Chains A and B, each alone.
Chain A
Amino acid sequence: MKAINEVKITLPSYSANEGFARVAAAGFFAQMDPTVEEIADIKTAVSEAVTNCIVHGYQDRIGMIHIHAQMFEGGLIKIKIKDKGCGIPDIKLAMEPMYTTCQTGERAGLGFAVMESFMDKVRVYSAVGRGTTVVLTKRILSRAENG
């Protein structure tokens, strides 16, 4: 399936870039005339995925985060968020709600749960020592269809 439009963004894993990443994604998909709620869903899911790259993928170092956002016929959107960080040893465990490796008690362990709830589909590919790719997909209903 060929994308009708796409954008690639590469940014370093500074936490200050979390806000930019979600706003950039929201700005790109704005041309599909999504509802306010759909935009909020996309921003939240992208924020979670990018935060995972920063907090878990790269931990105490700065690496590059690659975001590839695509739109397809029928209102389908796909966002790939990739890091070349430490990788996830057990993806199923990492996706469990409330599971977190964070020791401070300030991370809820809900990143993947939020992504799964706000997007239609979340796929995770990871190899320890090589990095992680998260693929988020969602169908944006046009406002006409929403009524």
Chain B
Amino acid sequence: MSVNIQASEEAVTAYISGEIDHHTAKGMREEIDNCLERMQPGILVLDFRDVSFMDSSGIGLVIGRYKLMQELGGEVRVAHPSAHIYKVMKLAKLDQLAVIEQ
């Protein structure tokens, strides 16, 4: 489990890797939120290219960050989910909260 964060002036990109479940989501959330509070970016990109598994804990992770970014006046984008992860996201109608770039 890890999150690699890259920040530019307008956007923070969090490259998440490994499996997202209830056990791993907490550490990922803390790492991302620490950075968001420090940087206060206009855009948060959550990049799922290296995520091999995700259950509904990943949905909670995205929705929680969406709420935080709303408070900061910014937006969330989801990038590169695998077919399976996209299926979980569609089920949760995440595409109505965030732009999903496949």
Residues of A in contact with B (beta carbons under 8 Å apart): 15-16, 18-19, 22, 37, 40, 43-44, 47-48, 51, 54-55, 105-108, 110-111, 113-114, 117
| Sample of 13 A–B contacts (CB below 8 Å) | A15-B21, A40-B53, A40-B84, A44-B53, A44-B88, A47-B21, A51-B55, A54-B22, A105-B63, A110-B59, A111-B56, A113-B92, A114-B55
Point out the residue from B21, B29, B60, B91 that lies within 8 Å of A19, measured CB to CB.
B21
Q: Say whether B29 contacts A110, CB under 8 Å.
A: no
Top 8 A-B pairs, shortest CB-CB distance? A15-B23, A108-B59, A47-B55, A110-B56, A40-B84, A108-B60, A51-B22, A106-B60
Complex Cα distance, B81 from A40, in Å, reads: 14
CB closest residue in chain B, given A98: B92
Q: Say whether B55 contacts A44, CB under 8 Å.
A: yes
Complex Cα distance, B21 from A57, in Å, reads: 17
Q: Say whether B56 contacts A16, CB under 8 Å.
A: no
Residues of B in contact with A (beta carbons under 8 Å apart): 19, 21-23, 25, 29, 53-57, 59-61, 63-64, 67, 83-84, 88, 91-92
Q: Say whether A105 contacts B64, CB under 8 Å.
A: yes
Complex Cα distance, B23 from A101, in Å, reads: 18
Q: Say whether A43 contacts B22, CB under 8 Å.
A: no
Q: Chain A residues near B60 (CB, 8 Å)? A: 106-108
Point out the residue from B53, B57, B91 that lies within 8 Å of A43, measured CB to CB.
B53
Point out the residue from B22, B29, B59, B64 that lies within 8 Å of A18, measured CB to CB.
B22
Q: Say whether B88 contacts A114, CB under 8 Å.
A: yes
Q: Say whether A16 contacts B64, CB under 8 Å.
A: no
Q: Chain A residues near B92 (CB, 8 Å)? A: 108, 110, 113
Point out the residue from B53, B83, B91 that lies within 8 Å of A117, measured CB to CB.
B91
Min Cβ gap A60→B in Å is 14
Q: Say whether A19 contacts B22, CB under 8 Å.
A: no
Q: Chain A residues near B84 (CB, 8 Å)? A: 37, 40, 44
Min Cβ gap B76→A in Å is 15
Given known A-B contacts A15-B23, A19-B23, A48-B56, A114 and B91 have beta carbons under 8 A apart: yes
Q: Chain A residues near B56 (CB, 8 Å)? A: 48, 107-108, 110-111, 113-114
Complex Cα distance, B56 from A19, in Å, reads: 14
